Structure 1
């Protein structure tokens, strides 16, 4: 009877897995179908709008590639803005997708600018291009190379920098078109430095704020009184940081203010926020007993606002990764010249804005889950420090003239929070190791082993328990996967860019 029941359980589990696989396959097919509809709409619009112009077929292909790049930016890069809010349950997945899609599109259209640089970060010298046609081919190859790499990284579950992706594509296509001398190698050196600077700086700032919150609020006898004192200040710091961040990154193409003006407005934002928030926190904490979950709830609203503002700033900046090369192709075909900065036709901006939002909604949840919950467990307090770090790190790096990547900063901040938790939990035994999805069976077996070992050798049992506890706070395999993807991004983009340039040139000649 037991054997029959076990066999039946296995059959039911197998059937459930099969059913889940069918549903997942159907969902993926529907998403791919909607993505293809968007790309077809891009091609149809350009065909109708520019069908009579010379090389209209080339422009149609470029528009489809630009739309494909925008989809992949939305699928991969936007996760950094809303992932912590979703992982901490301050936002639902649907709510995060809705907010991010709106603010990404708004940032791209409102603050994306009227002119865009066609050569990302000055990686290659356009004056060395032999003719405008070669330049256009190189830009198309770079755009497609970056999009393909982002697509692969998303499939692997690795959040990577879209800026580094397009930089690699431009570098590879430029080297294929002109030679190694076309590349600005000192600039490439600063980009390579950002692989280390961005995550380390983001991790340190996030860990520093989390440690401050723990020792000043969570580890005190009267948490409610401590929260009333420090939470308004922390929220004020966040408002001040995001005000300066938006001025430096979000609306810089609309209004570029001096550093002194940015700092003055940031300070004013802090004091204008401090007193209303202090009153709101006092009101919200009247019935609190001091539980951690109650204190954490005070950070939910600031976290939601930060997700919206990060998305706006991201849309205003990173839409250029999709439309910069596309604008270069359009201007190059229209003028017959090599352009280093190009006006942005409204239809190009719309393709970028809609594409990013569509990619986020269709394919973004996978990376949102990775950033928000699979690397380490986040609650509103930890997620707050990640969001604050994203803004502060950009401000600090800009002041010091250091190259940074917003993607690397956000993910580095998540790891910084996780590793700080490991350190503090190892020393103080305050938190218990969380049960992470996918590790349940393995964890149960290890815990049974520890209990058996405790009867034989308590010291070894404690060591084994410490190892299990520490390992589960940060999932190392994600660290390895993401770090590898970061290091490989530029070389992979360069290889694809060169390969696609030779392919395009072979087709066109």
Structure 2
């Protein structure tokens, strides 16, 4: 049946209107997408406040604890968004894990580490940075801890936004120091402790980079540059996986399980050695079976490092959850203790409900905002493959163990990112060395132009400078922000 001109015009108008509605829906979905993460985060922060209200009960200090719980939840979200990238970035960058798989594994193991082994006893005022008696009253102490929580969370949030992985431990240290100076003056600060922390800015990344570069040199010399790569891999990959297993057994015994059982360094090393030997012997037939039929090229070697890399990422996340959850909830636990019993001069035991806020906050932060920093660490600083990522993961664990043995304060963030830089700069040095050899062998070969040499740099200098700058200013920036927030809170409360 033929349609009239009016019907045709009406249908054309309807099509255009439907098209406009479809465009509006697409536009609204596009606009609202960036608000999903902050919206869910806000609901979690509100939920944390309600949890505090439920467990703490109705007292004259309830409102203070509820606000502190909200600040602690906000800090936990930022730790998940920033800090966890150090554990998962290398595995994702090496394509051993998808982004979704990395987030799932990290969320499970971070939460398990926090809840199973994370009930650390937090030393009063963040590891002796400030003399608690200098603050005078519990009320001043509470305002200082609230300022430290909020300032460190804001700083980590800003660092995540600009794409810089920073130390959340240093952020909390800076926040506590700033609030302590604002409340009790410069004399209240333990400058010896602050000096040791400043030393770790240099020690952590340099040590992490050197260890990672050393292992990459070993892998290149003994496997990658060999004529028969598969035969070399059958010999050395079981040894390397055994070393990784032994190191991680030692690392978990020292750091990840310290709340379940107290283990000294010597015992942890014995546990690691036994574990490493057992895994080495177990991996010999496994690697021999995996390597059957593989072509004699570098790409084939990646298969052999995939599973160890995934396991290392999971173990790093467990240890991180056990250790760094205290950064989110340590000041909150101190506030709870000060408000409930009035004591702020002794060590603080973290209540289980406070641990829940920290554990789930880290997982939510990772899920909602973690991919950005995971990409930065995993692929945007330098290109990683499973062998290079293995070196980064192993370096992170070894450096923490060595630092514990030497009694040096180090940052897991600085170690992991320093290891990534170490791998990248070693690759640049190695490529330049091989180029010089080739030029010596063929003297008539034309030299590369300055532009071409710059293009062949394997570490992105812009990321390097951004991250180093963020590391340097983390403590002073968090301290300044905390001092301002403390003054504002004090003025409002008084």
> TM exceeds 0.5?
yes
The whole-number CA distance in structure 1 between the counterparts of 2:434 and 2:147 is: 54
Mean CA deviation greater in 412-421 or 256-265: 256-265
SS in 1 for 2:348: strand
How far 1:330 sits from its partner (Å)? 0.6
How far 1:130 sits from its partner (Å)? 1.1
Q: 1:81 to 1:461 in 2, by over 3 A?
A: closer
For the Cα contact (< 8 Å) 2:124–2:132, is it kept in 1? no
The whole-number CA distance in structure 2 between the counterparts of 1:466 and 1:41 is: 54
How far 1:466 sits from its partner (Å)? 2.5
The whole-number CA distance in structure 2 between the counterparts of 1:404 and 1:49 is: 35
What is aligned with 1:283? 289
The whole-number CA distance in structure 2 between the counterparts of 1:460 and 1:285 is: 40
User: Which one of 458, 462, 465 corresponds to residue 477 of structure 1?
Assistant: 462
What is aligned with 2:479? 494
User: Which one of 415, 418, 421 corresponds to residue 421 of structure 2?
Assistant: 415
Q: 1:239 to 1:458 in 2, by over 3 A?
A: closer
What is aligned with 2:409? 403
TM-score, length of structure 2 as denominator length: 0.91
Q: Does residue 374 of structure 2 align to residue 368 of structure 1?
A: yes
Give the root-mean-square deviation of aligned CA atoms: 1.9
SS in 2 for 1:364: helix
How far 1:402 sits from its partner (Å)? 2.0
User: Which one of 124, 132, 136 corresponds to residue 130 of structure 2?
Assistant: 124
Q: How does 1:35-434 map to 2 (within 5 A)?
A: 35-113=41-119, 115-429=121-435
Could you give the per-residue CA deviations for residues 269-299 of structure 1, whole angstroms, max 9, x where no partner exists? 1111011101100001110112211112111
Could you give the per-residue CA deviations for residues 215-273 of structure 1, whole angstroms, max 9, x where no partner exists? 10000100001000000000000000000011111111221212221111111011110
For the Cα contact (< 8 Å) 2:55–2:353, is it kept in 1? no
Q: 1:61 to 1:27 in 2, by over 3 A?
A: same
The whole-number CA distance in structure 1 between the counterparts of 2:151 and 2:246 is: 38
The whole-number CA distance in structure 2 between the counterparts of 1:310 and 1:461 is: 41
For the Cα contact (< 8 Å) 1:371–1:411, is it kept in 2? yes
Could you give the per-residue CA deviations for residues 14-57 of structure 1, whole angstroms, max 9, x where no partner exists? xxxxx999866533211111101101111222234445211211
SS in 1 for 2:408: coil
Computing the radius of gyration from Cα coordinates, the structure with the larger value is 2
For the Cα contact (< 8 Å) 1:160–1:407, is it kept in 2? yes
The whole-number CA distance in structure 2 between the counterparts of 1:165 and 1:409 is: 16
How far 1:113 sits from its partner (Å)? 1.7
Q: 1:242 to 1:20 in 2, by over 3 A?
A: farther
Could you give the per-residue CA deviations for residues 281-323 of structure 1, whole angstroms, max 9, x where no partner exists? 0001110112211112111100000000000000000000011
Q: Aligned residues, how many?
A: 464
For the Cα contact (< 8 Å) 1:172–1:497, is it kept in 2? yes
The whole-number CA distance in structure 1 between the counterparts of 2:101 and 2:426 is: 29
Q: 1:359 to 1:426 in 2, by over 3 A?
A: same
The whole-number CA distance in structure 2 between the counterparts of 1:195 and 1:205 is: 16
The whole-number CA distance in structure 1 between the counterparts of 2:29 and 2:371 is: 16
User: Which one of 434, 449, 452 corresponds to residue 465 of structure 1?
Assistant: 452
Mean CA deviation greater in 401-410 or 251-260: 251-260
For the Cα contact (< 8 Å) 1:426–1:466, is it kept in 2? no
How far 1:458 sits from its partner (Å)? 8.4
The whole-number CA distance in structure 2 between the counterparts of 1:491 and 1:242 is: 33
TM-score, length of structure 1 as denominator length: 0.88
Q: Does residue 488 of structure 2 align to residue 503 of structure 1?
A: yes
The whole-number CA distance in structure 2 between the counterparts of 1:277 and 1:130 is: 59
The whole-number CA distance in structure 2 between the counterparts of 1:463 and 1:486 is: 30
SS in 2 for 1:299: helix
Could you give the per-residue CA deviations for residues 420-460 of structure 1, whole angstroms, max 9, x where no partner exists? 11111122259xxxxxxxxxxxxxxxxxxxxxxxxxx9846
For the Cα contact (< 8 Å) 1:194–1:405, is it kept in 2? yes
- The answer for unaligned runs of 5 or more in structure 2 is 1-24, 437-443
For the Cα contact (< 8 Å) 1:107–1:311, is it kept in 2? yes
For the Cα contact (< 8 Å) 1:75–1:364, is it kept in 2? yes
